[in-house]
Amino acid sequence: MNKNVVYVDNNATTRVAPEVLDAMMPFLTDFYGNPSSIHTFGGQVHKHIENARAQLAALIGAEPSETIFTSCGTESDNAAILSALENDLRRRRVVATRVEHPAVLSLCKVLQQKGYHVDYVPVNNKGQVCLDALCRMVTDDTAIVSVMWANNETGNVYPVQEIAEIAHQHGALFHTDAVQAVGKVPIDLKKTRIDFLSLSGHKLHAPKGIGALYVRRGLKFNQFLIGGHQEYGLRAGTENVSGIVALGRAAQLAAQHMDEERTRVAALRDYLETGLLKSCPDARVNGNPASRLPNTTNISFEFIEGEAILLRLNEFNVAASSGSACTSGSLEPSHVLRAMGVPQTAMHGSIRFSLCRYNTKEEMDLILEKLPPIVRLLRELSPYGRETAKSHGRP
């Protein structure tokens, strides 16, 4: 294992917490029975699933019966939106923001090809959703409004409760992709009118391959995976028992560490952000610092390109990510930064640092030591480097 990695890419995925690994391990070794079996060996596993469901439900303020385990956040997103469309066949419109995750946006594109109408809510230059536009877009023909709780690239947190109300005024359902928010900010679904909420285990220190979907009680839910009677008949397929147990334990740990996210992790993030802005000229934060996840900062280093920055950071074992086109294999930079109208000079040089409770101040100090010289060096290499010198040459 790579003990020395400085891992600041926690919005991509997280390390499995040791406590989580301990909790799930028995279900990979001794307790391998099928929870649907009639014999004790298999059947006894079932109560561990229900225990995990209660643990997860507690983290998001839901009833256990409102919580269905899925394979990932994407499955949850797809299941929620498709279920809403099937619920009321007369409603043929969907509203989503332009900064949603591809799990929602790519589905929307497919829906458009199938004849549904999708309205995309614009955002301002801080990435805030334009609520006026959203209000205009939701109509009595809207089946579902889908707005993420927090954005994966900028960390922006959106007013999902308010938006849920707007959706309901028109009889539409409301779904939120809370994959980035769950475990990082307090969520109490009892106090909201949110109909669907998607979450993913591997973003909160459970392993990959396990997710969940909250479906508000009383709501008609149309199965996405059809087959056996698992998950109250709402999601077929033999349960990912070890993953489910892991997610339950991870949810419990997240609740315990919630205050730490808001205090220590946020302070580390701010320390890194302030330090980088101070030591690197022509750097700017993308997003809305006033309403942001405690763990995320997205900084553009102007006149240079993100992949080059990342691969040089990689030489020092620092793992971060970028919204640059080159890192994704696409030729265009991140749809989130484009939707925000980030200037061309800054569009390609964005770096996202996403922290977690395992990060330390020493790690931030390493980044603060290594990154500024990388930025300087790449600017010296860049034909636009002089523009930087120009803007800072004057006293």
Partner 1 sequence: MWNYTEKVMDHFLHPRNAGDIPDADAVGEVGNITCGDALKLYLKLDPAKQNIVDVKFQTFGCASAIASASALTELIKGKSIADAAKITNNDIADYLGSLPEEKMHCSVMGMEALQTALANLQGKGASTAACADSHAEHGGAYDPDGLDRVVCFCFSVTERKIRDVIRANHLTKVDEVTHYCKAGGGCGGCQDEIEKILNDMRGQAAPTPDDAARKCPATPPKLTNLQKMTKVQQVVDQEIRPGLKADGGDLELIDIDGDKVIVRLRGACAGCPGAHVTLKRWIEAKLREMVSPDLIVEEQVE
User: Is 108 a residue that touches partner 1 (CB under 8 A)?
Assistant: yes
Q: Which of 72, 108, 130, 326 is catalytic?
A: 326
User: Is 281 a residue that touches partner 1 (CB under 8 A)?
Assistant: no
Backbone angles phi, psi at 32, to 5 degrees: -95, 5
Question: What is the chain's Cα-based Rg?
Answer: 22
- Which residues inside 138-157 make contact with partner 1, applying CB under 8 A? none
User: Is 47 a residue that touches partner 1 (CB under 8 A)?
Assistant: no
**Distance of alpha carbon 350 from alpha carbon 297, whole angstroms:** 10
Q: Which stretch binds partner 1 (CB under 8 A): 42-50, 110-118, 202-210, 225-233?
A: 110-118
User: Is 94 a residue that touches partner 1 (CB under 8 A)?
Assistant: no
**Distance of alpha carbon 270 from alpha carbon 250, whole angstroms:** 25
- State the nearest-atom distance from the C-beta of 314 to partner 1, in Å: 9
Active site residue 326: yes
User: Is 382 a residue that touches partner 1 (CB under 8 A)?
Assistant: yes
User: Is 118 a residue that touches partner 1 (CB under 8 A)?
Assistant: yes
User: Is 375 a residue that touches partner 1 (CB under 8 A)?
Assistant: no
Q: Is there a contact between 180 and 187 (Cβ–Cβ < 8 Å)?
A: no
At 117, which amino acid appears? H
Give whole-number Cα distances, 217 to 96, 226, 258, in Å.
23, 20, 26
- Which residues inside 239-268 make contact with partner 1, applying CB under 8 A? none
Binding-site residue total for partner 1 (CB under 8 A)? Answer: 43
Outline where the chain has alpha helix (H): 18-24, 40-43, 46-60, 73-87, 102-113, 131-137, 160-169, 241-260, 266-279, 306-314, 325-328, 335-339, 344-347, 361-381, 385-393
User: Is 134 a residue that touches partner 1 (CB under 8 A)?
Assistant: no
Whats the size of the chain, residue-wise? 395
**By C-beta, is 85 or 254 nearer to partner 1?**
85
- State the nearest-atom distance from the C-beta of 355 to partner 1, in Å: 21
Closest CA to 4 of 319, 355, 371: 319
User: Is 381 a residue that touches partner 1 (CB under 8 A)?
Assistant: yes
CA trace torsion 164, 168, 169, 172 (10° rounding) = 120
Backbone angles phi, psi at 10, to 5 degrees: -75, -10
User: Is 105 a residue that touches partner 1 (CB under 8 A)?
Assistant: yes
DSSP single-letter state for residue 380: H
Contact letters (x/-) for partner 1, 318-347, by CB under 8 A? ------xxxx-xxxxx-x--xxxx--xx-x
**By C-beta, is 358 or 384 nearer to partner 1?**
384
- State the nearest-atom distance from the C-beta of 104 to partner 1, in Å: 11
User: Is 193 a residue that touches partner 1 (CB under 8 A)?
Assistant: no
At 65, which amino acid appears? S
**By C-beta, is 231 or 302 nearer to partner 1?**
302
H/E element, 262: none
> Which of the residues are catalytic?
326
Q: Which residues bind partner 1 (CB under 8 A)?
A: 98, 105, 108-109, 112-113, 118-120, 122, 303-308, 311-312, 315, 324-327, 329-333, 335, 338-341, 344-345, 347-348, 380-385
